[in-house]
Amino acid sequence: MLSLIVFLPIIAGLIILAVPSSQKQIIRIVSLLAALGQGVLAVLIWRQYDPTMAGIVAASGGSPFGSFQMIEKIPWISLDLGSFGPLNIEYFLGVDGISITMVLLTALISAIGVLSSWTIQKQVKGYFILYNLLATAMMGCFVALDFFLFYVFWELMLLPMYFLIGIWGGPNREYAAIKFFLYTLFGSVFMLLVMIGLYFSVIDPLTGHHTFSLVAMADQANYIKGAILGPDSVTWRYAAFIVLFVGFAIKVPMFPFHTWLPDAHVEAPTPISVILAGVLLKLGTYGMMRINFPLFPEVFQAGMYVIGVFGAINIIYGAFCALAQQDLKKMVAYSSISHMGYVLLGLAAANSEGMLGALYQMFNHGTITAMLFLLVGVIYDRAHSRQIDKFGGLASYMPVYTGFVTVAWFASLGLPGLSGFISEAFVFVGAFREEVTRPIAIVSVLGIVFGAAYLLWSLQRMFLGKRKPDALYDLEVDAHGHEHIHFHDWKGKLDLDARELTMLIPLGIIVIALGIYPMPVMGLLTTSINKLVQVLAPVAMSAVH
C-alpha cells in the first residue's frame, strides 16, 4: 500500500512519457488520476491506521520493526564490504503518527497542486513528468524508514524542483532555481557524511550487522562504543547533530538559511509555491523529528535552548519582513518563515504539548499556506501583478474571493475557531511550561501581534476601501448605476471559477473543521508524540548509558 502511494505518480509520469505532447488534456487527466489515487490510498491508510501504536523506535522486546504500521521491508542491496561485514540497504517503508499526518498532507496538497497546474500552458508534458517525480519523492521521504532510501528520495526532490522553478517560473527564475538547488544540496551533502558515519556506528540487533535502518538508529542501545558516532564520541556526535540540523534547517527554512525561500516562492509558478510551502518545508521539520533529534537525543537536550531562540527569531524576523513587503507573494513567503518558527519553538520545548503543537502546526501550515498561495495565484492570474497597493476595494467586486481570503488570512494569524489557532496555542503552552523556553515563548508571542499586523494591513489595503487611482483594473459604471470591474486582459470569470473553488473549498473546510474539532488529526499523532518525547527525555538516555 505504501509503495503504491509512493510510486503512483511516477507510474503516471511514465504513462505521460508515452503520450504525445500535443495531448495536453490527457496528460493533465492522467496526473489528476494519479493524485486522486494517492488521495484515496491516503484515506485508506488513514482508516487502517491504529493510533494507539507509537512508532518512532523499535519497542524493546516487541516487534523488530517497532510499532510502525503498514511495514514493507525487503532487502534491496546487499554488498560484502570485507572487514565491515555486509552492507545491507533495505527498501523499508512504514508509518507512525508523525509520518501519517504528513502522508495525508502530501496527498492532499499534491492533488490540489495538479488542479492548480491546469492553467500551465508551456511544455505541459515536461511539466507533469517533473511534477509527478516530485510527488513521488516527497511521499517517499515521509514513509522511508531506511536512511539510505530517505536520502535517495530527499535528493530526488531537488532536480524536479529546480526545473519546475527554472522553466516555468517568473522573470528571475534562473537565479531562484539555482539558489534553491545550491542551498538545499549544501545542507544535504553533510547528511550524506552523517549517514555513512551512522552506518558504521550502529548495529542492527536483529542481524548483528551495520544498518541504515532509522528504527535501529533511534535506539541508543544499538550504537557501538568507539565508533565515530558511538556514545563516547561526544565531539563527532555534536558535529553530526549540528550539520544534520543545518541541513534540515535550510529546508525549513530557519534564519539565517532562509534567503532562498522568498526568491524561490516569488519566481515559482503558483502550484509549485503551493507544493513548496505546503509540503517541502515540512520535510525540514519532519527530518528533525524523525532523524535529527531521536538519533542524537543528548545533543538535542543540550541544544534545545538554541533551537528555541532560532525559532523565536524566525517568528519575529519573518513577521517583520512580511510587514515590509510590497509583493503579496513575498509577504506570504515570509509569513511561512514566521510560521515555521512556531514549529521550531514547539520542538524546542520537547514536551508533549510543544511537540504536538509543532506537528499539528506543520499540518495546519501546510493547508493554510496552500490556501494563501492559491489565493495569491488567483489575483496574479487576473492582474499579472501582486503589488499590494495596486488594488483596493476588491471586496465589493469579488465577494467570494474576498471571503476565502478572509478565512485564510485569519487562519494564518491564528484566530480562534480556525486550525492555526490550536496549533499555535499548543506550541505556546508547551514552550511556556518549560523553564528553558519560557522567556523565548514570551518574546515570540510578539510574533502573533506582528502577524496580525501584516495580514490585516494587507487585507485592508487590497480589499477594503475604494479602488486605488493606479489600480490594475478598470472600473465601469453601467446604465443602472452598478459598478463593474475588469482586468485588462483577463477573459475568464472575475470572481473564483469552478476550478479555483474545487481547490479552495476542501482546504477551507479542513481549516475550519480542524479549528473546531482537531481530533481527526491530533488523535493520530498523540501516541507517537508522547513516545518521541520519552525518547528525547534525559531520563530515557541515562537509562541507556
Partner 1 sequence: MFEMPSGAEIQSIISILKGGAGFFVPEIYLSALFMVLIILDLVTGRKNARFLAAVTIAGLVGSLYYIFKQQAMPDTEFFFGMYALDRFGIFFKYFFVASGILAVLLTVIDDQLKKHESGMGEYYALLVAMVVGMMMMASSTDLLMMFLAMELVSLSAYAMTGYLKRDPRSSEAALKYLVYGAVSSGMLLYGFSLLYGMTAQTNLTRIAMVLAAHGYDPLVMIMAVLLIMAGLGYKMGAVPFHFWSPDVYEGAPTPVTAYLSVGSKAAGFAMLMRFFFVAVPHGMDMYVSPLHIDWLMILMLVSAASMIYGNVVAIWQKNVKRLLAYSSIAHAGYLLLGIITMDQLGTQSVLVYLASYLLMNYGAFYVVILIANRTGSENLDDYRGLGKKMPLAGAALTVFLISLVGLPPTFGFIGKLMIFSALLSKGSLFMWLALIGILTSVISLYYYMLIPLNMYLRESERPEEGVVETGMGAKLVTATLMILTLYFGLFFQPIANYAKYSSVLFGAFLN
Where does this chain touch partner 1 (CB under 8 A) — which range of 171-179, 289-297, 325-333, 394-402? Answer: 171-179
Tell me the window of 169-177, 382-390, 406-414, 437-445 that interacts with partner 1 (CB under 8 A).
169-177
Among 22, 25, 63, 78, binds partner 1 (CB under 8 A): 78
**CB count in 10 Å sphere of residue 10:** 20
Which residue number, 45 or 229, has a Cβ lying nearer to partner 1?
Answer: 229
Instruction: Please say which residue, 4 or 178, places its beta carbon nearer to partner 1.
Output: 178
Q: Please, are residues 524 and 43 in contact by the beta-carbon 8 Å criterion?
A: no
Q: Which of 29, 40, 43, 81 binds partner 1 (CB under 8 A)?
A: 81
For partner 1, the closer CB: 84 or 490: 84
Residue 204 CB, shortest distance to partner 1, in Å, is 17
* Residue 310 sits in the site that holds partner 1 (CB under 8 A): no
20 binds partner 1 (CB under 8 A): no
Q: Report in angstroms the alpha-carbon separations of 148 from 8, 71, 90, 206, 375.
A: 21, 17, 8, 19, 38
| Apex 257 CA angle, 254 and 259, nearest 5 | 105
Residue 485, SS3 per DSSP: strand
Count other Cβ atoms within 10 Å, centred on residue 496.
Answer: 22
Output 243 or 395, the one with its CB closest to partner 1: 243
Cβ 219 to partner 1, closest distance in Å? 21
User: In whole angstroms, how close is the CB of 190 to partner 1 at the nearest point?
Assistant: 7
Q: Where are the alpha helices (DSSP H) in 202-351?
A: 214-217, 234-251, 260-267, 270-275, 281-287, 293-295, 297-324, 328-349
**C-alpha R_g of the chain:** 23
The three three-digit cell numbers of residue 18, written as one number: 508515452
Residue 236 binds partner 1, judged by CB under 8 A: yes
The single residue among 49, 92, 163, 380 that binds partner 1, judged by CB under 8 A, is 163
Q: Between residues 23 and 406, which has the closer beta carbon with respect to partner 1?
A: 23
Q: Which stretch binds partner 1 (CB under 8 A): 158-166, 257-265, 272-280, 507-515?
A: 158-166
DSSP code, position 508: H
The verdict on 190 binding partner 1 (CB under 8 A) reads: yes
From the list 167, 224, 446, 494, which residue makes contact with partner 1 (rule: CB under 8 A)?
Answer: 167
Pick the closer one to partner 1 by CB: 133 or 422.
Answer: 133
* Contact call for residue 121 and partner 1 (CB under 8 A): no
> What are all long-range contacts of 160-165, with beta carbons under 8 Å and residues at least 24 apart?
160/130, 160/131, 160/133, 160/134, 161/134, 161/272, 161/276, 161/280, 163/126, 163/130, 164/127, 164/130, 164/131, 164/134, 164/268, 164/269, 164/272, 165/264, 165/267, 165/268, 165/272
Taking the complex as a whole, the smallest distance from the CB of residue 55 to partner 1 amounts, in Å, to 25
Which among 166-174, 259-267, 422-430, 468-476 is the span making contact with partner 1, rule CB under 8 A?
Answer: 166-174
Residue 238 as a binder of partner 1 (CB under 8 A): the answer is no
Number of residues that bind partner 1 (CB under 8 A): 39
Question: According to CB under 8 A, which one of 40, 43, 63, 84 is a site residue for partner 1?
Answer: 84
Rank residues 36 and 178 by Cβ distance to partner 1 and give the closer one: 178
174 binds partner 1 (CB under 8 A): yes
* Residues 201-230 as x/- pattern, contact with partner 1 by CB under 8 A: --------------------------xx--
Query: Measured from the CB of residue 233, what is the shortest distance to partner 1 in angstroms?
Result: 8
Cell 515555521 locates to 340
166 binds partner 1 (CB under 8 A): yes
178/415 with CB nearer partner 1: 178
C-alpha cell belonging to residue 60: 524493546
Q: Which helix (H) or strand (E) holds 88?
A: strand 86-95
- Helix (H), strand (E) at residue 42: helix 24-48
d(CA 179, CA 129): 22
Classify residue 445 by burial, with Cβ atoms within 10 Å: 0-12, 13-18, 19+. Answer: middle
Which residue's CB is nearer to partner 1, number 177 or number 249? 177
| Least CB distance to partner 1 at residue 77 (A) | 5
Q: Taking CB under 8 A as the rule, does residue 200 contact partner 1?
A: yes
Q: Which residues contact 41 (CB under 8 A, 6 or more apart)?
A: 1, 4, 5, 8, 107
Upstream peptide bond of 256 is cis (omega within 30 degrees of 0): yes
Give φ, ψ of 226 to 5 degrees: 90, -15
Q: Which is nearer to partner 1, 191 or 504 (CB)?
A: 191
C-alpha cell at 201: 556506528
Candidates 73-81, 266-274, 461-469, 495-503 — which segment interacts with partner 1 by CB under 8 A?
73-81
Report CA dihedral (142, 145, 147, 149) to the nearest 10 degrees: -70
- The three-state secondary structure class of 78 is strand
Question: How many Cβ atoms sit within 10 Å of the Cβ of residue 96?
Answer: 29
- Confirm or reject binding of residue 171 to partner 1 (CB under 8 A): no
Report the interface residues with partner 1, using CB under 8 A: 77-84, 87, 123, 151-152, 155-156, 158-159, 162-163, 166-167, 173-174, 177-178, 181-182, 185-186, 189-190, 192-193, 196-197, 199-200, 227-228, 236
